[in-house]
Copies of this chain bind each other. A is one copy, B any other.
Amino acid sequence: MSPESRREQLLELGTQLLSTRTLDEISIEVLAEEAGISRGLLYHYFGNKQDFHLAVVRRAVEQLVAITAPRDIEDPLEQLAVSIGAYLDYVVENYTGYVSLVRAAAGGNEELRAIYEEGRRALTDRIFEVTGPAGLDALGLSDSPTMRLLVNGWAAMLEVVIIDWVHDPRGIAREDLLGRLARALPGIVLA
């Protein structure tokens, strides 16, 4: 098998296994057996277990960022809501995998978290890039350490609320939720 497809196969398999186990519960042994290869071969493609974990998470984050491409809409809040909606839809369609990814990144070591936070950063940055300067002003945003702190907190809130809501969508309709989450940003930074 060609190196590329083999690498891809192993990463894909790792991502799949992530749905049922924690990241470090995926033993090289089980993975190799599941893939029909020897343990040694895994060390040929990835230096060690840690590197394999990094590769799996990196791939998943890249997919997430790639799939949730933003649209361009006039009203800043509406635009924000649509972007959040795309993100939410992705979570809906990949619930178990997404949850596993978040948990793995949150509980992992520094490198793992760095990869994940970089991805989150890319998502939030993109949301604001699409929003023009005038729109940012309308949202009460400016670039300062405090704002970055609060926006980061808002993003963390997004993740938790979205996971909770996808887990049990009763209580509030999708559109209502998106509106509330979008308006929560100025609600926080202007408070």
Within 8 A of B (CB), among A150-191: 150, 152-154, 156-161, 164-165, 170-172, 176, 180, 183-184, 186-188, 190-191
A172 in complex: contacting residue of B146, B159, B171, CB < 8 Å: B146
- Give the bracket for the number of chain A residues in contact with chain B: 35 or more
Q: A108 interface residue, CB < 8 Å from B?
A: yes
Determine the chain B residues whose CB is within 8 A of the CB of A105 once the complex forms: 107
Interface presence of A3 (CB below 8 A)? no
A109 an interface residue at 8 Å Cβ cutoff? yes
The dominant DSSP class at the A interface is helix
Shortest A149–chain B CB gap in Å is: 6
Provide the residues of chain B in CB contact with A104, threshold 8 Å. Answer: 107
* A161 surroundings in chain B (CB, below 8 A): 149-150, 152-153, 156
Query: A121 near B: Cβ within 8 Å?
Result: no
- Measured in the bound complex, the distance between the Cα atoms of B22 and A104 in whole Å is 12
A170 touches B145 (CB 8 A): yes
Residues of B within 8 A of A22 (CB): 107-109
- Is A144's beta carbon under 8 Å from chain B? yes
Task: Tell which of B103, B108, B150, B183 touches A191, judged by Cβ atoms closer than 8 Å.
Answer: B183
**Is A24 an interface position by the 8 A CB rule?**
yes
Question: Is residue A67 contacting chain B, with contact meaning CB distance below 8 A?
Answer: no
Specify which chain B residues have a CB less than 8 angstroms from the CB of A23 in the assembled complex.
Answer: 107
Q: Which of A107-153 contact B (CB under 8 A)?
A: 107-109, 144-146, 149-150, 152-153
| Known A149-B165, A150-B184, A184-B187; 5 more pairs at CB < 8 Å | A106-B107, A146-B172, A149-B164, A150-B161, A187-B188
